[in-house]
């Protein structure tokens, strides 16, 4: 999937988990989730993170290829280790946000034709599940909406008052900028 789809799915998922009272949302958690949502594609030189970090993405792409090691259970094990380190360092929520984004990325890529080499490096077979859309195609946009609707729908079902709070926040924000001009 494209970077923007991954970011949207990651942010929707972390919002749903915050609504379910797993942890509080903060700008730092949202930023960590967005980075986690984009991180697996560091193995592709044309990806959102791969372009600025070309000195990482080019060698990775040349050696292990795209959607292999960074889209595997092994990568998730390393991410879990990173979360444990973040926990020990006192920034557990940021670690959870990153992990949620990372897991959501792999989950979303499993719904595309290209799939993910989940068992890399032991097995290079690609796994993909229905509806297996083409990355960047209209199909991706078509499945994105129900995914976001489902995730945010579950969040609303779990905790409608969370969204009341968000709505009130949005209603009050314009007043911050309501400075009379004379
Ligand atoms: Zn990917």
Could you give the CA distance from residue 73 to residue 118 in angstroms, rounded to a whole number? Answer: 6
Distance 18 CA to ligand 1 centre (A): 24
Helix (H, G, I), strand (E, B) or coil at 116: strand
Distance 170 CA to ligand 1 centre (A): 32
Within a domain: residue 161? yes
Distance 109 CA to ligand 1 centre (A): 6
Within a domain: residue 69? yes
Neighbour-count burial of 152, counting CB atoms closer than 10 A to its CB (0-12 exposed, 13-18 middle, 19+ buried): middle
Could you give the CA distance from residue 101 to residue 14 in angstroms, rounded to a whole number? Answer: 8
Distance 82 CA to ligand 1 centre (A): 19
Distance 40 CA to ligand 1 centre (A): 6
Distance 72 CA to ligand 1 centre (A): 10
Distance 129 CA to ligand 1 centre (A): 14
Within a domain: residue 65? yes
Distance 35 CA to ligand 1 centre (A): 13
In tens, the pLDDT along 126-158 reads 999 999 999 999 999 999 999 999 999 998 888
Distance 65 CA to ligand 1 centre (A): 12
Within 13 Å and on the Cβ side, how many CA atoms surround 85? 8
Within a domain: residue 181? no
pTM of the model: 0.89
Range of the domain at 168: 3-176
**Is the pLDDT confidence value at 106 over 80?**
yes
Within a domain: residue 50? yes
Within a domain: residue 146? yes
Distance 70 CA to ligand 1 centre (A): 8
In tens, the pLDDT along 74-105 reads 999 999 999 999 999 999 999 999 999 999 99
Phi-psi region of 159 (alpha: psi -120 to 50; beta: other; left: phi over 0): beta
Residue reference for tokens 């979303």 = 108
Within a domain: residue 172? yes
Q: What's the structural domain count of the chain?
A: 1
């Amino acid at each position: 999937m494209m970077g923007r789809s991954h970011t949207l799915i990651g942010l929707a998922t972390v919002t749903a988990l915050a609504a379910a009272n797993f942890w509080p949302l903060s700008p730092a958690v949202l930023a960590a989730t967005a980075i986690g949502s984009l991180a697996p594609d560091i193995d592709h030189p044309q990806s959102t993170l791969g372009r600025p970090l070309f000195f990482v993405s080019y060698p990775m792409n040349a050696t292990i290829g795209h959607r292999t090691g960074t889209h595997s259970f092994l990568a998730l094990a390393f991410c879990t280790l990173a979360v444990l380190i973040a926990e020990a360092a006192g920034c557990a929520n940021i670690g959870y946000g990153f992990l949620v984004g990372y897991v959501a990325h792999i989950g979303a890529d499993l719904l595309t034709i290209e799939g993910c080499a989940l068992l890399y490096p032991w097995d290079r077979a690609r796994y993909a599940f229905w509806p297996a859309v083409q990355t960047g195609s209209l199909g991706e946009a078509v499945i994105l909406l129900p995914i976001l609707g489902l995730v945010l729908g579950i969040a609303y079902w779990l905790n409608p008052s969370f969204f009341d709070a968000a709505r009130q926040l949005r209603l009050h924000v314009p007043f911050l900028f309501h400075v009379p001009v004379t």
